[in-house]
Amino acid sequence: MAKKAARGSEREERREDALSRERIVEAAIELLDADGEEGLTFRALATRLATGPGAIYWHIANKGELLVAATDAVVARTLGDVRASAKPREAIHRVALSMFDAIDARPWVGMQLSRAPWETAMLRIFERIGRAVEALGVRGHAQFTATSTLLSYVIGVSMQNTAASQFARRELAPTTNRKDFLEAAAERWKNLDATEYPFTRKVAEHLPGHDDRKEFLAGIDLILEGIAV
């Protein structure tokens, strides 16, 4: 009987060793990618990991902590894949575009970054952009202002683009593609009241052919031009 109890204890220890915090976070990322935040529950996580919720609570206190850890893991991985550049402007472009694509692929990342800007995931992005801003020759308090402005633009525009994409996939008919949708929107702009919307009518022709990623980087460059003044 003692031998059986010992063997059972050894099996339990092996299961606990295998259930690391990293493994839990990776499983959480898979659930978030598949079902969003609503689909991330400790019950679903326990099922995916073939364990009990209690074993997960040993490593992660609650869902909030799990979201923070999952977001940090994705951001760390994303920034780790960004090629270094000795040119500050190019370095900012690469970091910005990597986050734009990451948030587009995983909308929950953008939501979590905006919800908890003081956590490590946001600080990782702030640090990378800040080093490049410093390399541009920005000094003093302007470093904080310039880096904060760029960070707000990157996260804000990335989230807005993702929200628009989600709306299009959810609300538009399956037969409606991006080109047709933008052309229809441009026609609505052109038909707005000329007195109330003169500018919107004038730029409507540019809406159908615009590229989201190029426009995103063009916005980065506008900020950088202002920094250089």
CATH for 86-228 is: 1.10.357.10
pLDDT at residue number 169: 64
Residue 73 is predicted with a pLDDT of 97
Residue with tokens 């490593």: 59
Q: What is the reported pLDDT for 172?
A: 61
- The residue ranges of every structural domain in the chain are 1-60, 86-228
Q: Architecture of domain 1-60 in CATH?
A: Orthogonal Bundle (1.10)
CA angle 181, 184, 185 (to 5 degrees): 85
Per the structure block, which two tokens stand in for 105?
């692929």
First to last CA, the chain: 80
Identify the pLDDT of residue 198.
Answer: 94
pLDDT along the chain (229 residues), means of 10: 46 56 94 92 92 88 94 97 93 96 94 90 96 94 95 95 73 65 86 94 88 92 85
Amino acid at 202: K
pTM above 0.95, yes or no: no
Looking at residue 218, its pLDDT comes to 94
Question: What pLDDT, on the 0 to 100 scale, is given for residue 163?
Answer: 83
pLDDT at site 176: 61
